[in-house]
Amino acid sequence: MANSNILGPARSRVDGPLKVTGYAKYAVEFEIPKCAYAWPVESNIAKGKITAIDIKAAQTSPGVLAVLTHQNASKMADAKGLFEEFAEAHGEDMSQGIRNEQRAPLADDEIHYAGQYVALVVAQTIEQARHAASLVRVSYAPELPILTMEDASKAKKPKKKQDETIQLRKGNVEPALANQNIIRLHETYSTPTETHNPIETSGTIAAWEGDDKLTVWDSTQFVKGVQSILARSYGLKIENVRVICPFVGGAFGCKGALWPHVLLATMAARATRVPVKFHLPRKAMFTGTGHRTPTSQTISLAATSNGKLQAIKHVTGTLTSPVGEFVEVCGARSTGVMYASETIRVEETVYPVNVATPTFMRAPGECPGVYALECALDELSYLLQMDPVELRLMNHAANHPIRDVPFSAKHLKEAYQLGAEKFGWSKRNPQTGQMRDGNLLVGWGMATATYPAHKMSAAAKAILHVDGRATVQCATHDLGTGAYTAFTQISSEQLGVPFEQVTFELGKSDYPFGPVAGGSNSTGTVGTAIHEVAQLLHRALAELAVKDARSPLHGSRPNDIAMVAPGRIALRKNPVTSDSFTDILQRAGRDSITVESELKDPEENEKLAFQSWGAHFCEVKIDSLLPRVQVTRVVSVMNCGRIVNAKTARSQIIGGVVMGIGMALTEETAYDPKTGLPAIANLADYHVPTNADVPPIEVYFVGEPDYAFNPIGARGMGEIGITGIAAAVANAVYHATGKRVRDLPITPDKLI
Amino acid sequence: MSEEPESLPPPLPRGVLLDGLLLRGDPETRRQFLKKVAGTGVAVTLGPHLIALASTPTADGATPHGATKMVDVQLKINGRDYRLRLDPRTSLLDLLREHLQLTGSKKGCDHGQCGACTVLLNGRRVNSCLTLAVMHDGEEITTIEGLAQGDQLHPMQAAFIEHDGFQCGYCTPGQICSAVACLQEGHAKDDAQIREWMSGNLCRCGAYPNIVDAIKQARDKMGGTA
Amino acid sequence: MNPFDYSRPPDWQAAVNSVATDAQAKFLGGGTNLIDLMKMGVETPDRLVDINRLPLAQVEELPGNTGIRIGALVRNSDLAEHPLITARYPVLSEALLSGASPQLRNLATTGGNLLQRTRCYYFYDPAFPMCNKRNPGSGCGALEGYNRIHAILGQSEQCIATHPSDMCVALAMLDAVVRVQGPAGERAIPIANFHRLPGITPNVDTNLQTNELITAVDLPAIPFATRSHYLKVRDRASYAFALVSVAAALELENGMIKSARIALGGVAHKPWRAAKAEQALAGKKVEAAAFSAAADAELAAAKGYQYNSFKIELAKRAIVQALTTVAALP
């Protein structure tokens, strides 16, 4: 049941007033005097070499300050070290920044994919830069590009990704899959290239002070990562590189790694000796900041006639670029955790092709992986003539199917139950094509959602002022996730300072370490750092108090003291003996006290498995003659531990569902089959859902705080909402029409 | 160089951050917060401004080869008069963002495909990215920065906060300007109509259901229209 | 966007003169398509003649109940909600409101919408080397490319682009007349002759001369246009170009079809007047079989490509659906 003890208060966003008045400053909106503007020139071939670049006309165009190409960039920007650093570094520690593209921009004359930057024009105004970029003439010696999985000559089967085994085997799936006496299914599901398309395109302002100090305002999910990579690239002291990003206009993964434009902006600023702003044109977001690779996933299932799974085999193929290192892990994190099957086999293969480098996009791997698995489960339910919810309950996994340890605070059964009840699932006619609303076909579908609980490392600084206010800082990020608000709440609760008196600051590399805002880790990770810094603060207050003859705690041992109520520390065993934060500071003659937690590896609990769960139920309506699918109702029930803020958490899940509706029905970055250029490279043709595509969405939370996972009890929820929803929609479409579409998106042409 | 300018955004935000909607209780912290987070705003003084923008003509007044002839234009933006000399290629959006530091209007696609740049031009909602500033000599523009009345948030702004009608906040100024116009046009009678008439504003965070709720609240509070 | 001179002439004569004397000059209306294409580098005028303040923004009745005149600068949003249009030509109102977004409709003009250029990917982005429309003689990138949104009727080997307008489909069905002013004076171009098929000159979208200014669009009086409908099939619920669209009107008499008017969007280089379907319907009973037969007749000559063959069946179904809807109107 909806459990009120997991739900925090529904507070409005602390950054709301700034956002609704237009005064929230995003990275490229900072006013930097004398700032120049950059505009890119991109390759329009996918493979080959640059034979000549004519930049004369561009250079002499009014307002132009510089034109960077592979021929002059290293020299002009004095950036030789940058290219060496990039040539060498592979598979580095994630805490030191993330690079999915292992090549410095303008490094040489090689073209690896269409859309690759081949020049950058810097001018006094945007208009001048954009025009001058059109005057750059590039000649190429093109070679035949490899653009698809079918044409790829090489294949990689990485054993691990970030220490996680991704090729899985539990028992032997083959005997069951070969057994003609049980129910079997063998189907291939495909998803297209999807592009994040946050409404704020990526952008960077770079400003040098001399040759050894660099400040960048960058739209990023990882200020510390950008700082680290830039410091190493230019051989700068880490403290001489500052990265500032108080607001991010959406990201969804495409601002997690450092992409070439950040380096180009810093190179251009170094070359021109003026600050340079490079705000990416929308088109560059389709090639310059990653995308979700297309996937081809073959699922084989075998089950007894009562629905007990005997074998699941999930074989995935994905793409990467010739200069990319990213692997989309589809099966290991969906099929590898979802059901209590006797045998499980997961294979992941990645093919390098001449297409821009992919990256993580909201629930990378899990999102397409759960789509394929949950469609296959739905297909199996029809073969078995069994209710789809019943089938899932039949195969529910209390323990991790591979590791065989219990899942912590798992309440998936309740999610199914509550979702079915709220949706009215019992009224579903199990036959396809039977439910109607006037002329419209009606379909009801459901699917499971899942996403792992990730843990990273963070530190925080807390400053308690004598007037009772507190400031807490961490170099973390608010991508629209509600981090400002959630961390203000957590700080208030952990420090014992009223919400209204807490200021939480983020988005600046000056603050203690925060990890990349990805993998739904931030609330738990930064929340844990806040928990730790709060302990330090209370300890520091206790140390002041025990030395102060006027304190009721005078002479006690600091170890015996803890916070007992907001604003007060006391003896653990005798809470009546207490002192207030402000009195302690006042008597000590202190304006404030500052403490900072240490960065340390997170504690891992190997006895449990940590994973979030959920269930989506949805209704679609389809005109049988002109079959565009309209989603008309969604109920989503989530089990992700404690929910810090009921209002922003609901919004996060809604957001995932909306993006999942886009994935199911409209989103696809199609490429020209000859040149490899994206044919779809703008927001008119890349169809993200509009307001009219989105129905009312009901969101519920079940379960309990997962304190076994972290002291905040939160497993994170930025991504789970998108997992499963595309399957729920596809399953509803099948229920409505009797037609199974196994390649997304389900556009009208596929239902004719 | 600093991201912490001396001057605060004019003159709106301090007053706008109403007590009930406040990030922080006390005005001093609020001011500090704005300094730290909101960053710069151009310190515009009252009265008309003459701002020469972009490439400068040569001494004899001729335009350098290949450059554009500058065009003089007067605009009333958020009730304030501006006299400007512009490169005619300057879109209304780039004028606001890059030259007047009115960065509330957002650039999402620069091609009329997302609605983040929506402003009110003579009271009507338009995509400021697809119109040239010089086309609007003598006309009135209201941006998100001009919606609040002194200390008082526009009811649409307040409703967006209450219903969490945004996440990252980047499409939000466009959504709110569009929503204000949607009400004025009389296109917010029911959910279906709101959804259709707000479809020119993409929200990648997916706040649509909350946006619809916010618009309904503002509609009911404002007696049907703005 | 290349540098250009900007001017705002006081009257249409001056505007026409400015453009007549400069082959690279263009009229600037709402700008929603032209400025977009200039940013892309597809259009490169050296002079923009801003006509927005010319007095061409009226919708008025023509004398003697002969129809309605729509000024070239009437904004799409104003036209869509004009009482004369909603009362007499609901199909036009529906078509306008199905296009673009409220913000764009507030800028876009009637004249500009007539001149909207194709959304073919290979035309719109100069990164693509092949496009006969943008760069005559370079070839058609769409022919063997990603051609999902492309033409199935009236195309040539030189160009398979489609006309993207919704408004123009309704105008084609209503037999609108485009009034233009040029150095040689005024002339009237029937809508059927306004847009062109690609043939061997796909770079020429319309029969409007470059020095001519559209001043108005006349709609003839068509009493049965009150029984009309615009149906648009697209990939998402709103704010998307048509895969296929249909503007239809039926003149009914005693359960029989006296005459039918049908135009299609999204299928050809110009708004496609479905003459064969109209012919097939004349004199037939109002019934599904007649609608299907008419749709089959119109699409018999259609030709699809790798990614767009679905449009043939989709267009047939859309015709049937539009006619069914119109027939059921009160």
- Read off the pLDDT of residues A90-116 as tens digits, 9 standing for 90 and up: 455 788 999 999 899 999 999 999 999
**Residue C171: enclosing H or E segment and its boundaries?**
helix C167-173
Flag whether residue C240 sits within 8 Å of chain A, measured between CB atoms: yes
Contact between A672 and C317 using a beta-carbon 8 Å cutoff = no
Nearest to C129 among A44, A671, A692 (CB): A44
Q: How far apart are CA A381 and CA B179, in angstroms?
A: 44
pLDDT at A91: 53
Flag whether residue A685 sits within 8 Å of chain C, measured between CB atoms: yes
Averaged confidence pLDDT in chain B:
79
Six-digit token string for A105: 């921009």
Q: Å from B145 to nearest chain A CA?
A: 6
Contact between B181 and C50 using a beta-carbon 8 Å cutoff = no
The position carrying tokens 């002339």 is C187
Which pLDDT band holds residue A88 (cuts at 50, 70, 90)?
Answer: low
Q: Provide the pairing of β-strand A203-209 with A213-218.
A: antiparallel
CA separation, residue C41 to residues A24, B7, C1, C37, C149 (Å) = 33, 39, 6, 6, 22
Averaged confidence pLDDT in chain A:
96
Does B49 have pLDDT greater than 60?
no
Which chains pack against B, by 3+ Cβ pairs within 8 A? A, C
Q: Which residues contact A400 (CB under 8 A, 6 or more apart)?
A: A337, A406, A407, A609, A611
Contact between B54 and A128 using a beta-carbon 8 Å cutoff = yes
Q: How far apart are CA A4 and CA A703, in angstroms?
A: 9
Omega of the bond leading into A705 within 30 degrees of 0 (cis): no
Nearest to A102 by CA among A264, A258, A219, A285: A258
> Which domains occur in chain B, in start order?
49-146 (3.10.20.30), 155-221 (1.10.150.120)
Mutate to test the interface with B, among C1, C6, C117 (most CBs of B within 10 A): C6
Which chains pack against C, by 3+ Cβ pairs within 8 A? A, B
Does A236 have pLDDT greater than 80?
yes
Mean pLDDT, rounded, for C23-51: 97
Six-digit token string for C90: 């609901």
pLDDT at A213: 97
**Residue A176: enclosing H or E segment and its boundaries?**
helix A174-178
Q: If 0-12 CB within 10 Å is exposed, 13-18 middle and 19+ buried, where does residue B136 land?
A: buried
Pick the residue from chain B with its C-alpha nearest to A658. B206
> Which domains occur in chain A, in start order?
32-144+199-250+255-286 (3.90.1170.50), 295-454+606-751 (3.30.365.10), 461-596 (3.30.365.10)
Contact between C235 and A687 using a beta-carbon 8 Å cutoff = yes
Nearest to C5 among B69, B127, B178 (CB): B69
Q: How far apart are CA A172 and CA A169, in angstroms?
A: 7
Mean pLDDT, rounded, for C61-84: 97
Report CA B69 to chain centroid distance, whole Å: 28
Which of A155-159, A266-270, A405-409, B166-170 shows the lowest per-residue confidence on average (mean pLDDT)? A155-159
- Tell me if residue A200 is catalytic: no
Nearest to C43 by CA among C131, C129, C109, C134: C134
pLDDT at A92: 57
* Chain B residues closer than 8 Å to A647 by CB: 164
Amino acid at B153: L
* Chain C residues closer than 8 Å to A675 by CB: 128-129, 141
The position carrying tokens 């990614």 is C307
Helices (H), ranges, chain B:
12-16, 27-33, 92-94, 155-162, 172-185, 191-197, 208-221
**Residue A218: enclosing H or E segment and its boundaries?**
strand A213-218
> 3-state class of A688 per DSSP?
coil
The position carrying tokens 């490094």 is A107
> Which domains occur in chain C, in start order?
5-52 (3.30.43.10), 229-327 (3.30.390.50)
Does B12 have pLDDT greater than 50?
no
Mutate to test the interface with A, among B23, B31, B195 (most CBs of A within 10 A): B23
Mean pLDDT, rounded, for C227-250: 98
CA separation, residue C281 to residues A436, C291, C330 (Å) = 31, 7, 20
Determine the Cα angle at C219 with ends C318 and C286, to 5°. Answer: 40
Q: Provide the pairing of β-strand A435-437 with A592-596.
A: unpaired
Mean pLDDT, rounded, for B113-137: 98
pLDDT at A81: 80
Contact between A131 and C1 using a beta-carbon 8 Å cutoff = yes
Mutate to test the interface with A, among C143, C233, C235, C267 (most CBs of A within 10 A): C235
Six-digit token string for A449: 């959602």
* Chain B residues closer than 8 Å to C36 by CB: 111-112, 130
Mean pLDDT, rounded, for A622-647: 97
> 3-state class of C215 per DSSP?
strand
Report phi then psi at A49, rounded to 5.
-130, 150
Nearest to A72 by CA among A209, A232, A233, A270: A270
Could you tell me the end-to-end alpha-carbon distance of chain B, in angstroms, rounded to an integer? Answer: 42
The position carrying tokens 């996680």 is A164
pLDDT at B48: 42
pLDDT tens by residue, A144-179:
999 999 999 889 999 988 778 999 999 999 999 999
Nearest to B210 among A127, A651, A684 (CB): A651
pLDDT at A86: 75
Q: How far apart are CA B179 and CA B212, in angstroms?
A: 9
pLDDT tens by residue, A390-438:
999 999 999 999 999 999 999 999 999 999 999 999 999 999 999 999 9
Report phi then psi at C313, rounded to 5.
-65, -40
pLDDT at B45: 30
Pick the residue from chain C with its C-alpha nearest to A695. C237
> 3-state class of A729 per DSSP?
helix
Range list of β-strands (E), C242-307 = 244-253, 256-265, 272-273
Mean pLDDT, rounded, for C294-299: 98
Report CA C242 to chain centroid distance, whole Å: 12
Mean pLDDT, rounded, for A467-479: 98
Q: Which residues contact A13 (CB under 8 A, 6 or more apart)?
A: A19, A482, A484, A485, A648, B161, B164
pLDDT at A160: 85
Which pLDDT band holds residue B18 (cuts at 50, 70, 90)?
Answer: very low
pLDDT tens by residue, B60-76:
434 444 567 999 999 99
pLDDT at B36: 36
pLDDT tens by residue, A124-137:
999 999 999 999 99
Does B78 have pLDDT greater than 50?
yes
Nearest to B3 among A16, A21, A217 (CB): A217
Length of chain C: 330
Which pLDDT band holds residue B41 (cuts at 50, 70, 90)?
Answer: very low
Mean pLDDT, rounded, for A544-553: 98
Does A3 have pLDDT greater than 70?
no
Which pLDDT band holds residue A182 (cuts at 50, 70, 90)?
Answer: very high
Contact between A749 and C129 using a beta-carbon 8 Å cutoff = no
Mean pLDDT, rounded, for B41-65: 39
Flag whether residue A12 sits within 8 Å of chain C, measured between CB atoms: no
Does B187 have pLDDT greater than 80?
yes
